[in-house]
Amino acid sequence: MKPTRLLDSATTPDGTPLTLHEHDGTLSIRVGGVELMSTRQHHSEERLAELACAGLRDRPRAAVLIGGLGLGFTLRETLRHVAADATVVVAELVPAVIAWNRDPAHRLAADVIDDRRVEIVAGDVAEVLATSPARFDAIMLDVDNGASGLTAAANHGLYSAKGLGRARAALRPRGRLAIWSADSDPRFAARMEQAEFTVDVVKARTHPTGGSWNTLFIGTRS
């Protein structure tokens, strides 16, 4: 059996360990020892971008915000669904995650980060939301394990009524807020509706041909 190698480690702002691993060609990020994402299973992240950006390819100067760089799959798919004059802002809280993606040896997202449409922000997506009134046509949040904070306790605020209201204010009319979650959460869907979103709950596999199911909350600003 091939061993799992620790490639690098970092900590989140609240001190939670974040580690990058490799096993038999697959890279994964773990938080507190729990696997958060891997290069083996990322179909649901791509589906998140596809649904959030539906119709944006023909929209001039579309603006998109991605909360959480992860392993770069959401960003890569987003760029497939927007035009050449679009702007895609990616806010990543942990600088090491940006460095891992930029490192060509890892074969992650170095190429798409260099796309002229992409702006990388090393900071909290909540701050971008708070300072971007009516700026975005689509916002994707994949900063944690779902509609709660696992990676960093501060992420809880993104999914609160106040956080959802801030996201709504950052959207243009009929803009979409798309949130990735490892599990279903009917109470969270109801919270989005209370924040004046029209909500679709979509199931997506972690792999196109199988794997476990994740939940995507797609809210349209109503």
Q: CATH code at 107? A: 3.40.50.150
| More confident position, 152 or 4 | 4
DSSP E strands, 50-159: 63-67, 87-92, 118-122, 136-141
| pLDDT reported for residue 32 | 86
How far is the C-alpha of 181 from the C-alpha of 84, rounded, in Å? 29
| pLDDT reported for residue 133 | 98
In 3-state terms the chain splits into helix, strand, coil percentages (rounded to 5) of 30, 35, 35
| pLDDT reported for residue 150 | 40
Q: Is residue 191 part of a domain?
A: yes
Over 70: is that where the pLDDT of 155 sits? no
How far is the C-alpha of 154 from the C-alpha of 124, rounded, in Å? 9
Q: Which domain holds residue 134?
A: 41-221
Q: Is residue 13 part of a domain?
A: no
Angle at 53 between CA 208 and CA 196, to 5 degrees: 110
| pLDDT reported for residue 53 | 98
- pLDDT tens track for 163-189: 999 999 999 999 999 999 988 889 999
| pLDDT reported for residue 28 | 97
- pTM value? 0.93
Instruction: Locate 106 and state its tokens.
Output: 């890892």
The H-or-E segment that residue 30 falls in is: strand 26-31
Q: Is residue 22 part of a domain?
A: no
Angle at 172 between CA 170 and CA 177, to 5 degrees: 65
User: What average pLDDT does range 83-111 have in this prediction?
Assistant: 97
The domain tally of the chain equals 1
Q: Is residue 132 part of a domain?
A: yes
User: What average pLDDT does range 144-167 have in this prediction?
Assistant: 73
Q: Is residue 10 part of a domain?
A: no
Instruction: Locate 75 and state its tokens.
Output: 């960003």
- pLDDT tens track for 29-52: 999 888 989 999 999 999 999 999
User: What average pLDDT does range 69-82 have in this prediction?
Assistant: 97
- Helical ranges in the chain per DSSP H: 43-52, 73-80, 95-102, 110-113, 125-130, 161-170, 186-194
Q: Is residue 49 part of a domain?
A: yes
Which of 163, 160, 159 is closest to 127 using CA atoms?
163
| pLDDT reported for residue 105 | 94
- pLDDT tens track for 115-143: 999 999 999 999 999 999 999 999 999 98
Q: Is residue 36 part of a domain?
A: no
Over 80: is that where the pLDDT of 144 sits? no
Over 60: is that where the pLDDT of 152 sits? no
65, β-bridge pairs: 89, 139
